[in-house]
């Protein structure tokens, strides 16, 4: 989503870095470019003005002009200004960063069941997000979660939430026909308390536009439920409309935070970038896909890093540890360091890479890899189907072959190729890759994704 903006800003940095000193003209030109880049990313005008003014003031400061590498200082200034724009309240003091990160988390300190009210327009991803949050709280915070749907106008929406509850392992308040939203709320509070639930999500009705009836319903529910968190779910692809929606919901309902969905889409990012500055509300989560695990706790610092193309090792390592079985990884690492990396191990690695979103997913998250991925794409592509094809080749080998790749002769290669529907040349390519990887791993000592990520991070 933030790719175009990232590219533009990187372009500005490229013209600045490598210079011994910055003249006023350099700074002016850079600020003009930054301003254009933000406007093109659909950031609200007042936010852009503030941003550029702040960056300019700091850039023309004595320290930067006299610095040995002023360009790099500008990168840092823009980075910090971005963090602030995204919701950080940091001063120059980096110690404040920790506080900034924390601010995005949900408040679950009230007496259980803690009520989280979910609001938003129809189609914003509200119901899906409720399911994602349920899974998130269950997995990460070990909470017992109940979901209740208040969408009395749309039985399908209620059933959808029921299915998401089942998938995420959350409890679901049974549907009783013809109850009003407030009646359902009262019942949900009682049942959640009785069942010993820590958290109760109330998924309110979505409408296509904001109207008074919708607001009156939600306000009545909020009065009874006394939510600890009232989250607005907004579609990031709708840009400034999402910001306007948030403003109007916030006028009627004391929101505590936002969830921006469809960050995985290729919008320009303006909603995410101006939301906090315009509404004053913190973005708490980002929706990054249709599936239940497509949710990320919002982290201004990390997102700024991603926009500027400095990658996001934190996200990669987090994701890797969540997905990869630690014990399995330890055994694999041990085998690799001893040079026993066989094709079964390679098949496991390929599987893990697919889980992490394929090569594309991994590279997007790594520092400096954004550019490289683009070059590779231009050169014919990073084909994630390749991972699947390579695994298929290994799957049509016998166990003996997988353990003894060096002994695979031409006749066996032919059989393997036929069995997996590939050419012999592809089997050869795979074997060569395995050879290179096992050599590399022997050198690295420690193997596996975790080891690789650690190497990259270091």
Which residues participate in the annotated binding site for GTP?
A: 120-127, 203-207, 261-264
Least separation in angstroms between CB 306 and ligand GDP: 16
Alpha carbons 127 and 162: distance in angstroms, whole number: 10
Nearer to ligand GDP, 209 or 411 (CB): 209
Range 261-290, binding ligand GDP (CB under 6 A): 261-262, 264-265, 287-290
What is the smallest separation between the CB atom of 359 and ligand GDP, expressed in angstroms?
20
Candidates 84, 127, 168, 348: give the one binding ligand GDP (CB under 6 A). 127
Q: Print the SS3 string covering the chain.
A: CCHHHHHHHHHHHHHHCCCCCCCHHHHHHHHHHHHHHHHHCCCCHHHHHHHHHHHHHHHCCHHHHHCCCHHHHHHHHHHHHHHHHHCCCCCCCCCHHHHHHHCCCCCCCCCCCEEEEEEECCCCCHHHHHHHHHHHHHHHHCCCEEEEECCCCCHHHHHHHHHHHHHHCCEECCCCCCCCHHHHHHHHHHHHHHCCCCEEEEECCCCCCCCHHHHHHHHHHHHHHCCCEEEEEEEHHHCHHHHHHHHHHHHHCCCCEEEEECCCCCCCCHHHHHHHHHHCCCEEEEECCCCCCCEEECCHHHHHHHHCCCCCHHHHHHHHHHHCCHHHHHHHHHHHHCCCCCHHHHHHHHHHHHHCCHHHHHHHCCCCHHHHHHHHHHCCCCCCHHHHHHHHHHHCCCHHHHHCHHHCCHHHHHHHHHHHCCCHHHHHHHHHHHHHHHHHHHHHCCCHHHHHHHHHHC
- Rule CB under 6 A: choose which of 59, 73, 84, 128 binds ligand GDP: 128
The nearer residue to ligand GDP, 130 or 420, going by C-beta atoms, is 130
- State the chain's maximal CA–CA distance in angstroms: 75
Position 420 contacts ligand GDP (CB under 6 A): no
* 80, 94 contact by CB (below 8 A): no
Least distance from C-beta 286 to ligand GDP, angstroms? 8
Of 94-102, 106-114, 259-267, 315-323: span binding ligand GDP (CB under 6 A): 259-267
Give residues 179-208 in contact with ligand GDP (rule: CB under 6 A).
Answer: 206
The nearer residue to ligand GDP, 51 or 136, going by C-beta atoms, is 136
> With binding defined as CB under 6 A, does residue 122 bind ligand GDP?
yes
Min separation Cβ 170 and ligand GDP, Å: 15
Nearer to ligand GDP by Cβ, of 250 and 348: the residue is 250
Name every residue whose Cβ is closer than 8 Å to that of residue 274 and which is 6 or more positions away in sequence: 43, 44, 47, 85, 240, 243
**CB nearer ligand GDP, residue 167 or residue 226:** 167
Nearer to ligand GDP, 206 or 227 (CB): 206
**Site for ligand GDP contains 256 (CB under 6 A):** no
- Within 10 angstroms of residue 91's Cβ, the number of other Cβ atoms is 10
Given CA atoms 252, 253, 254, 256 in this order, what sign does their dihedral have?
negative
* Of positions 123, 169, 351, 445, contacts ligand GDP by CB under 6 A: 123
Which range touches ligand GDP (CB under 6 A), out of 39-47, 138-146, 258-266, 380-388?
Answer: 258-266
Interface map 295-334 toward ligand GDP (x if CB under 6 A): ----------------------------------------
The answer to whether 294 contacts ligand GDP (rule: CB under 6 A) is yes
In the block, tokens 């500027």 appear at: 308
Residue 238 touches ligand GDP, criterion: CB under 6 A: no
128 or 438: whose CB is closer to ligand GDP?
A: 128
Q: How far apart are the first and last CA of the chain?
A: 27
Q: Which is nearer to ligand GDP, 3 or 50 (CB)?
A: 3
Residue window 65-104: x/- pattern of binding to ligand GDP, with contact defined by CB under 6 A: ----------------------------------------
Q: Which of 35, 126, 302, 391 binds ligand GDP (CB under 6 A)?
A: 126
Give the interface segment with ligand GDP, choosing from 26-34, 118-126, 140-148, 343-351 (CB under 6 A): 118-126
Instruction: Find the shortest distance in angstroms from Cβ 135 to ligand GDP.
Output: 13
State how far the Cα of 20 lies from the Cα of 67, in Å rounded to an integer. 8
Contacts with ligand GDP by CB under 6 A: the residue count is: 18
Residue closest to ligand GDP (Cβ) = 287
Smaller CB distance to ligand GDP: residue 120 or 257?
120
Residue 271, both tokens? 């909603």
Q: Which parts are annotated binding residues?
A: 120-127, 203-207, 261-264
Supply the minimum distance, in Å, between the C-beta of residue 309 and ligand GDP: 22
Question: By the criterion CB under 6 A, which residues form the site for ligand GDP?
Answer: 120, 122-128, 206, 261-262, 264-265, 287-290, 294
């Amino acid at each position: 989503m933030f790719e175009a903006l990232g590219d533009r800003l990187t372009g500005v940095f490229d013209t600045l870095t490598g210079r011994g000193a910055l003249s006023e003209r350099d700074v002016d030109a850079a600020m003009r470019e930054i301003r254009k880049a933000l406007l093109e990313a659909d950031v609200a005008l007042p936010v852009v003005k503030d941003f550029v003014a702040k960056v300019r003031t700091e850039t023309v400061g004595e320290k930067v002009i006299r610095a040995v590498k002023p360009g790099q200082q500008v990168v840092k200034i823009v980075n910090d200004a971005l963090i602030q724009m995204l919701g950080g309240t940091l001063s120059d003091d980096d110690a404040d960063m920790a506080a900034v990160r924390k601010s995005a988390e949900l408040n679950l300190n009230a007496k259980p069941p803690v009520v989280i009210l979910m609001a938003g327009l129809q189609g914003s991803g509200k119901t899906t997000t409720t399911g994602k949050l349920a899974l998130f709280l269950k997995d990460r915070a070990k909470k017992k979660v109940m979901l209740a749907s208040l969408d009395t106008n749309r039985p399908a929406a209620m059933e959808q939430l029921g299915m998401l509850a089942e998938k995420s392992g959350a409890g679901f308040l049974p549907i009783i026909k013809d109850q009003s939203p407030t009646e359902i709320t009262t019942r949900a509070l009682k049942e959640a308390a009785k069942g010993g639930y820590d958290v109760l999500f109330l998924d309110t009705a979505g409408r296509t536009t904001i109207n008074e009836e919708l607001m009156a319903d939600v306000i009545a529910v909020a009065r009874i439920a006394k939510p600890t968190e009232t989250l607005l779910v907004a579609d990031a692809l709708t840009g400034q409309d999402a910001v306007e929606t948030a403003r109007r919901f916030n006028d009627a309902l004391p929101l505590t935070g936002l969830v921006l969905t469809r960050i995985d889409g290729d919008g320009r990012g303006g909603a995410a970038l101006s939301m906090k500055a315009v509404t004053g509300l913190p973005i708490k989560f980002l929706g990054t896909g249709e599936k239940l695990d497509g949710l990320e706790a919002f982290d201004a610092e990390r997102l700024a890093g991603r926009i500027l193309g400095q990658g996001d090792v934190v996200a990669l390592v987090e994701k890797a540890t969540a997905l990869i079985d630690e014990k399995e990884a330890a055994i694999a690492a041990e085998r690799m360091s001893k040079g026993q990396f066989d094709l079964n191990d390679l098949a496991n690695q390929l599987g893990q890479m697919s889980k992490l979103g394929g090569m594309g997913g991994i590279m997007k998250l790594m520092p400096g890899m954004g550019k490289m991925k683009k070059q590779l794409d231009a050169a014919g592509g990073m084909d994630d189907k390749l991972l699947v094809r390579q695994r298929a080749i290994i799957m049509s080998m016998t166990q003996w072959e997988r353990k003894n790749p060096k002994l695979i002769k031409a006749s066996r290669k032919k059989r393997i190729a036929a069995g997996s529907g590939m050419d012999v040349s592809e089997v050869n390519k795979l074997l060569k890759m395995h050879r290179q990887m096992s050599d590399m791993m022997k050198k690295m000592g420690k193997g596996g994704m975790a080891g690789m990520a650690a190497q990259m991070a270091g």
